Structures are given as structure tokens and as C-alpha cells.
Structure 1
Amino acid sequence: MIVTRGLTKRYGSVLAVDSVDLNVRPGDRYGFLGPNGSGKTTLVRMLLGLVYATSGSIEVLDQRMPRSAGEVLPQIGAMVEGPAAYPHLSGRKNLSLLDASGPGGSRRTRRDRVEEALTQVGLSGIDRRPVKAYSLGMRQRLGLAAALLRKPRLLILDEPTNGLDPKGIREIRDLLIALNQAGTTVFLSSHLLSEVEQLCTRVGIVDRGRLVLEEELATVRGATGLIELRSPDAADVASMLNGQLVTRDGENLLIRHEDPAALNAQLVAAGLRVAAITEQRRTLEQVVLEVTGAGSDRVDAADPDRAEAS
């Protein structure tokens, strides 16, 4: 679906994207992650032909970009750097104009396409208010509706749940999973790591313009070799597994062990009660911090005197 080779973008002396080899496969729900300023948005804009690469190659839907943009873009639904709309027009009018501007859209079925897209994103009940009166969450939903108008083969989304409340985030997650299961490949950039963990099947992580990790999410979130255990007999468990005990907090214990089932059987055989037991796995946050180092967009003073001087 998306393949880049040695993709590089320079702005003068600034290397924004550095020799990235990206591989998004058909059927992926691909989470694209990285700190602020790591090159995510620049790379996404190059995929869509909005920014030209300094060097390297891009293939989207098996076609070279931006050379084949006229053929490729009608098959892509995209929302990059926030939803775009005419603020003085209603949401329906915006979608009607967008549909009319694209190739191949039948005028007779335009209303149906607009209504279907609005229903998919939870905006079927909007009135004639102009978009400038919408909340941030409503504008975000409208941008996603615009991306869905033509039933795209590929969705490229930048922070699609920005501005939504928890219920709205879950609704959009469920929608993207359903679209993916129906055949749409999803590529999204997001800062919400917990959301990516629940939505995506693969992840790519960039740092300082370089792709530092690309892997199946299940593989990335590997086991830590520790077992989280809760037992009313915590003191006896701690005594029995003293050499394997990492920490204990009341009834909750962290045990160094590879197999939850085997540990459970061992404790039950000893007459000890087990209320809950689970294998501890790495979080996506831990993985991102590990592979991107300590970089962030904080600007701290070196010392109090310097802070005062600035």
C-alpha cells in the first residue's frame, strides 16, 4: 500500500526526513509515532504529493508518487494537519462541494454519499449551522467524513481523534476497525499511545527524521518476564517465592516468572489463593521512550541564574 525507499527531505540545512524505508501492507492498521518535530507530518505530506522529496522514492497503491497523483489520490481518504472546510458553509454543503470537485462522482448519488459519510462519523443530525460554529470535535468528525466520501482503499489520517471525548474516541476507533475489516488499509499518525495500542496492528516510530522501529504491535509489546499477581495470601506467596519476588504492595505482587499458568498451578497446589494473575507486557509508551531516547520539545533553563537572565 505504501512503500518508501531512502525517502529524504531537507529544508536548507535542516534534515527533516532522513532515508526512511517505510512498508505499509494491505490490510494494516498502521500507527505512525514519534516525538514532536520528528518528521511525521513532513513524511505524510510527501506521501500525498503535497511536499516534494529531496531524494528517495515513494509508491502508494503500487504507483509512483507524486508522478501518479492524479490516479492515486482519488482512491485515498486523507486528513492531515486538521480538517479543512469553508467556515461560512454548513457541513453538508462542504461535503457536497468536495464530492463535486472530485473525479467520477455521480451527481445523482451525491446526497446519498454525503449522508452515509455523515452517519458513519456520528454527524447525521447536524443542522445548517456554518462550520465556524462547530466544536473542535465536530470539525474533526467532519474532516473524517470528508476522507470517507469516496470509500477509499487507503486512509491516511493525522490525529483523527483530536478534540473528541472518550466516547467519541471509542466510536471513531470502532469505525476505523470496521472499515479496515471491510478492506480499507488505515495509516494514522497519533500522539495517543493508548489509542494506538487498542487500534493498530503494526507501528512505525520515527525519531529525528529516521525510522527507528517498524514492527507488529504484538511483537513490540513483548513479555517482560514478570507476572502480576493478586492474592489474599500475599504474605505466604511472598515467603514461598522469596527468590522470585520483585515487589509487594498489600495483596499485589510482582513475580519473576515466565509462565502464569504454571505459577498459578504451583500456588494452588500449595493451598494458596489466587485472585488474579497476568503476564506483564511492555507498554507502547515504554517502547517509544526506549527507541526515541530522551528527546522532547521542552526547553529548560540550565540553572536558576540563566532562567532569570532569559
Structure 2
Amino acid sequence: MIVTRGLTKRYGSVLAVDGVDLNVREGDRYGFLGPNGSGKTTLVRMLLGLVYATSGEIEVLGSRMPRRAAEVLPQIGAMVEGPAAYPHLSGRRNLSLLDASGPGGSRRTRRARIEEALVQVGLSGIDRRPVKAYSLGMRQRLGLAAALLRKPRLLILDEPTNGLDPKGIREIRDLLIALNDNGTTVFLSSHLLSEVEQLCTRVGIVDRGRLVLEEELATIRGRTGLVLVQSPDAADVVPMLNGQLVTRDGENLLIRHGDPAALNAMLVEAGLRVASITEQRRTLEQVVLKVTGAGSDRVDAS
């Protein structure tokens, strides 16, 4: 769905994107991650033909970009750097103008498609208020509705849950998963690592313009060799661990063990109660910090 080869973008002496080879496959829910200033938004804008590459190649939906943009873009729903809208017009009027301005928008089905998109993003009850009166979360939902107007094969989204409350974030996550289940490939950049962890199946991580990791999320969140056990009989469990105990906090025991099922069977067979047993895996945050060198845009006084 998206392939780049040696994709590079320079702004004078600044190398914003440095030789990126990206591979987003059909059916992916792909999370694009990296510190502020790492080149994420620049790369997304190049995918959509909004910024021209200094060098390298881009293929989207099997066609070269930006050369074939006219045939590719109608198949893409996108929201980049926040939703765009005419602030003095209503949400519905904005969507109608957007649909009419692009290729492939059928006037006959426009009203039905607008209503369907508004229902999908939770804005079916909006009135005639101008967009300038909307909350940030409502504007974000409207931007996502605009991306869904033409039932795209590919969604490219930049921070799609920005400004939403926890319930709204969950609703958008469920919507993106449902769209993906119905055949839409999702590519999104986000700073919300916990959200990417719950939504995405693959991730790409950039740092200082370079793609430093691209992998299945389940693979990079590998085993740590640690198991968390909660047991009312914690004091009796400890002597059975042969030095494998890492830490204890009341009933909670962190144990170095490679097989949670075997550990659970041993404790139950010994007549000890196990309230819960959980295999510990690396978090996405741990992975990102490791491969990006914990980069930050913080500036401290010397």
C-alpha cells in the first residue's frame, strides 16, 4: 500500500528525512512513531504529494507519487496536521464543499455519504453552528469524517485522537479497527504510545529522519523472562522459587521464569493460592526509548 525507497528530504542544510525505506502492507494498522522533530509529518506530507522529495521513490496503492496523484488521492482519506475547515461554515457545509471540490465525488450520493461519515465519527447530532464554535474534539471528529467521505482504501492520519477525551479516543480506536476489518488499511502517526499499542499491528519508528525500526508489534513486545504473580500465600511461595524472586510487594511477586503455565502448575500443585499470573512483556514505550536514544525537545538552562 505504501512503499518508499531511499526517501530523502532536505531543507537547506537540514536533513529532515534521511533515506527511509518504508513498507506498509495491505491490511495493516500501522503506527508511525518518533520524537518531535524526527521527520514524521514531513514524510507523511511527501506520501500525499504535499511536499516534494529531494530524492528517493514513493509508491502508494501501487502507483508512483506524486506523478500519479490524480488517480491515487481519491482512494485515500487523509488528515494531516489537524483538520482543515472554513470556520464560518457548518460542519455539514464544509464536508459538502470538500466532497464537491475533489475528483470522484458523486453529487447524487453526497448527502447520504456525509450523514454516514458523521454517524461513524459521532457527530450525527451536529446543528448549523459554525465550525469556529466547535470544541477541539469536535473539529478532530469532523476532520476524520472528511477523511471517510469516499470510503477510502487507505487512511493516512496524523494524531487522529488529539483533543478527544478517553471515551472519544476509545470510540475512534474502535472505528479504525472496524474499518480495517472491512478492508481499509490504516496508517497513523501518534504521540500516544498506549493508544498505538492497543490499535496497531505493525509499527515504524523514526529518529532524526531515519527509520530505525519497522516490525510487527507483537514481535517487538517480546518476552522479558519475568512473571508477575499475585498470591495470598506469597510468604509460602518465596521459599519455592530457588532464588528466582526479583521483587516482592505484599502479595505481588515478580519472578524470573520462562514458562508462566509451568510456574502456575507448580504453585497450584503445592496447594498455594494464585490470584493472578501475568507474563511481563516489553512496553512500546520501552522499545521507542531504546531505539531513539530517549531523544527529547526539552531545553534546560545551563
TM value normalised by structure 1: 0.97
Per-residue CA deviations over 1:192-245 (Å, capped at 9, x if unaligned) read 001001100000000000000000000011110000100011111112214100
Shift of 1:169: 0.4
Counterpart position of 2:178: 178
- The within-5 A match list for 1:141-152 is 141-152=141-152
Q: Alignment partner of 2:198: what SS? A: helix
Per-residue CA deviations over 1:151-208 (Å, capped at 9, x if unaligned) read 0000000000000000000000000000000000000000000100110000000000
Q: Percent identity?
A: 91
Q: Alignment partner of 1:214: what SS? A: strand
Q: Structure 2 CA distance, aligned partners of 1:47 and 1:258?
A: 43
Per-residue CA deviations over 1:137-164 (Å, capped at 9, x if unaligned) read 0000000000000000000000000000
Q: Structure 2 CA distance, aligned partners of 1:99 and 1:8?
A: 32
**Where does structure 2 lack aligned partners over 5 or more consecutive residues?**
none
Q: Structure 2 CA distance, aligned partners of 1:263 and 1:13?
A: 57
1:60 correspondence with 2:60:
yes
1:193 correspondence with 2:193:
yes
Any runs of at least 4 consecutive aligned residues in structure 1 with deviations exceeding 6 A, and if so which? none
**Where does structure 1 lack aligned partners over 5 or more consecutive residues?**
303-310
Shift of 1:108: 1.7
Counterpart position of 2:165: 165
Per-residue CA deviations over 1:27-57 (Å, capped at 9, x if unaligned) read 0000000000000000000000000001100
Q: Alignment partner of 2:295: what SS? A: coil
Counterpart position of 2:222: 222
Per-residue CA deviations over 1:4-27 (Å, capped at 9, x if unaligned) read 000000101101000000000000
Per-residue CA deviations over 1:95-145 (Å, capped at 9, x if unaligned) read 000111111222121110110110110000000000000000000000000
Q: Structure 2 CA distance, aligned partners of 1:294 and 1:261?
A: 35
Q: Alignment partner of 2:86: what SS? A: coil
Q: Structure 2 CA distance, aligned partners of 1:251 and 1:87?
A: 56
Counterpart position of 2:83: 83
Q: Alignment partner of 1:152: what SS? A: coil
Per-residue CA deviations over 1:251-303 (Å, capped at 9, x if unaligned) read 0000000111100011111121111001101100000000000210000123x
Count of residue pairs the alignment pairs up: 302
Per-residue CA deviations over 1:80-108 (Å, capped at 9, x if unaligned) read 00000000000000000011111122212
Per-residue CA deviations over 1:39-79 (Å, capped at 9, x if unaligned) read 00000000000000011000000000000000100100000
Q: Structure 2 CA distance, aligned partners of 1:91 and 1:294?
A: 40
Q: Structure 2 CA distance, aligned partners of 1:106 and 1:217?
A: 38
Deviates more, 1:108-117 or 1:28-37: 108-117
Counterpart position of 1:307: none
Q: Structure 1 CA distance, aligned partners of 2:175 and 2:13?
A: 42
Q: Alignment partner of 1:227: what SS? A: strand
Counterpart position of 1:138: 138
Q: Structure 1 CA distance, aligned partners of 2:79 and 2:129?
A: 22
Q: Alignment partner of 1:225: what SS? A: strand
Q: Structure 2 CA distance, aligned partners of 1:106 and 1:48?
A: 22
TM value normalised by structure 2: 0.99
Q: Structure 1 CA distance, aligned partners of 2:284 and 2:105?
A: 41
Counterpart position of 1:127: 127
Q: Structure 2 CA distance, aligned partners of 1:289 and 1:82?
A: 26
Q: Structure 2 CA distance, aligned partners of 1:100 and 1:265?
A: 64
Q: Structure 2 CA distance, aligned partners of 1:193 and 1:294?
A: 14
Counterpart position of 1:308: none
Q: Alignment partner of 2:277: what SS? A: strand
Q: Structure 1 CA distance, aligned partners of 2:101 and 2:113?
A: 14
Q: Alignment partner of 1:156: what SS? A: strand
